[in-house]
Amino acid sequence: MTADRPRRALVSCSDKHGLADFAQALVKLGFELVSTGGTRTALEAAGLPVTDVSTYTGFPEMMDGRLKTLHPKVHGGLLGRPNLPDDAAAMEQHGILPFELVVVNLYPFAETIAKPGVTVEQAIEQIDIGGPSMVRSAAKNHAYVGVVTSPSQYGTVLEQLASGSLTAEFRRQLAAAAFELTARYDRMIADYFATITTPVAEHIFPQSLVLSFDRRSTLRYGENPHQTAAFYVEPRPHASSLASAEILHGKELSYNNLLDLDAAMQIAREFRQPAAVVIKHNNPCGCAVAEHLVDAYTKADAGDPVSAFGSILGFNRPVDRETAEQLSVPGRFIEAIIAPEYLPEAFEILTTKPKWKSNVRLLKCPAFLDPHPVGMEYRRISGGLLVQERDEDEDPRANWTVMTNRHPTPQEYADLEFGWLVCKHVKSNAVLFAKEGMVVGVGAGQMSRLDSAYIACHKAGERSHGAVCASDAFFPFRDGIDQIHQAGITAVIQPGGSKRDDEVIAACNEFGIAMLFTGRRHFRH
């Protein structure tokens, strides 16, 4: 703005965090404030001079606030180009004042529809009309108007205004953020209307899918050093999600760290008793439950100590001193740990005692075990996107059926339950051996189930004697049963559903192996 042209800011904000201080700074920089109902009241309460938009337009606010900024004197001031003679003449003729700055954020539609029991009428009243209209007008005319849509922008805006005016590049960045805001806002509303106007299957999987995530950070690289990567999060990630975890210590997280930390969380939260999970390349190489967390970790690490070197750990209880001492014994190397909390003594040990103390990433998620909605899972393929519900539903135990002459013993049944919960998180084909609440052998990601069984036998060694076996899908032939019998497996849990189920059941009866069918497969490609 030139020195002889007054500076004006149009302010209308639902989110008033930091607004009073920002507006105070604008006044000190010589801005006149024009505002609407609730925002005007808040600014006046802060002792700031402000003109009501109705006073400026000469048209009263009405219809319970639905109509207040949809006026030519408002949008003319946003869209007008004062440096163009025709625009300047029109503004002069109709008493339209130019705005140098527009500070707007929108009605909290997402927060409203997230509330339990919200009605359609309540949701509709939180559809902002004037706000997006002002944002879009200002963003279109960003060559002349700065459009501020988030409190996070206040600091940079003030820095630039203190030096004179917003740069053209920054105004363009603000406009881009504004159009992103209105696009996301409209998408939320469209998604909500899909839920109240279409069959369930259609609003879960709409005809057109538009995703919106915020970039949290760029990563050093992707799965491999030659791949670029970034971490994006949902606008409102659930408190129990990895995106809500707090990084307490350690090096920058990598792409692979994030994948493995998420896998560790998903498995550890399956259990209600203290549990420890050891993840390597997105698969559990160790997992155990026990009365005390330190014992769960000791057992989990013993499941495959060679593979556990350089692993990611997940705990479903706060890490205590005893567990931290075990984590820090010489010869162990840990990349990252996620847990609900770290007790002070444990945190001090992990950040001062082991050789890797300065490098290990420590993350906490207090809501680790909180119930959370089953989310959607997205996977890119060339030219498209596959979408499915995450495999997070609890299996109905009532559907489990003993298919053999011999029933599992109480200890076998407990181990079958444990093994089944872990096996669903292993890459297919998955065969897992469990014994006394710990994983003793895993065969993951093989092209044949027989190969997975062979690897599980190799990993378990002598510990397979008296252990149980979990298989994420059915055994297509009895040869898998023959193999695990030779390793000493006494009970099996699997979905069933093969046309050769009778042969598999007969093999188990021949060897005295107890077998459960769950009726539910858990492929994980």
Q: How many H helices and E strands in the chain?
A: 19, 21
The helix or strand, by DSSP H or E, that contains position 182, with its residue range, turns out to be: helix 168-197
Determine contact, residues 404/514, Cβ cutoff 8 Å: yes
Q: What is the rounded (10 degree) CA torsion for 68, 73, 77, 78?
A: 40
What does the CA dihedral 473, 476, 482, 484 come to, rounded to 10 degrees?
-10
From 497, 493, 499, select the one nearest 513 (Cα to Cα). Answer: 493
Residue 234, classed as helix, strand or coil, is: coil
Q: How many CB atoms lie within 10 A of CB 5?
A: 11
Amino acid at 100: E
Q: Pick from 17, 1, 8: which is nearest to 35 by CA? A: 8
Distance CA 505, CA 513 (A): 9
Name the residues annotated as catalytic: 140, 281
Contacts 24+ apart (CB under 8 A), 324-331: 324/349, 324/350, 324/353, 325/294, 325/349, 326/294, 326/297, 326/298, 326/301, 327/297, 327/354, 328/353, 328/354, 330/355
| Dist CA 145 CA 156 (whole Å) | 15
For residue 15, the one-letter residue type is D
**CA–CA distance from 99 to each of 49, 96, 147, 157 (Å)?**
16, 10, 10, 15
Contacts of 89 (CB under 8 A, 6+ apart): none
Q: What pairs with residue 231 in β-bridges?
A: 217
